[in-house]
Structure 1
């Protein structure tokens, strides 16, 4: 069964995820450190996980728990890469699907931005989400869940000359 993991420290689309999870009867883990307290949702399928404060502690928890067939919602590119390595799907809060084909470029771009910031450059990301962004996210989340739920196709190995 597909489980949804939310990197909860700075996720602006939690409510959208909750609604989709309710509709599809999916379990959701919202993982964050105590710096931004999470309010319980009252939903039986949503569990709030508070991890100790520290760099990447929430990311480590998600990466340790996530499995193939699950979906992670995160804007953290290294976490997305770790989820993909475990066979899970990864999706940004703007509806961008992280894939094996694009994660390397994203990691490289992140490294360049960090380097520029070390010289004082402003590499601030985009402004808050618009209604259109939220709509795009919901469509992408449905697509990610559907893709995660599909069993991986097994190749039929036919020996040379047939059976």
Structure 2
């Protein structure tokens, strides 16, 4: 009996269907945290301040289909945009596949469960503050969102 090879190993990012592309999001919520680009060094400065539509438990958008109407600067990641993007977190599936790596074991497509992203410590669950409760976002700069999750095992 032959084991079926997962689509992300056989299909380029540019050739994926919308459903395949969307399923690559592991629901970590890290990309929905506010970030800044440092003027002098061009470094990405991460915060632990999340978009007001980011759900604290699921780490997914509360209004994904209408998010662009509610959040004017919300970005829709596309294969074309991905080529130029340097602000995705280190553990992001889109970034990993773009850079020639496989999906981590906690990814729902690998594990079969949306819970593993949270169990691994790779999500922002209970680790961010909603932007509605913040006066000065720059006061919440931290580095963990841009790094490989400390509690998650490195890919084997």
TM-score, reference length from structure 1: 0.24
The structure where strand makes up a greater share of residues is 1
Question: Greater helix percent: which structure?
Answer: 1
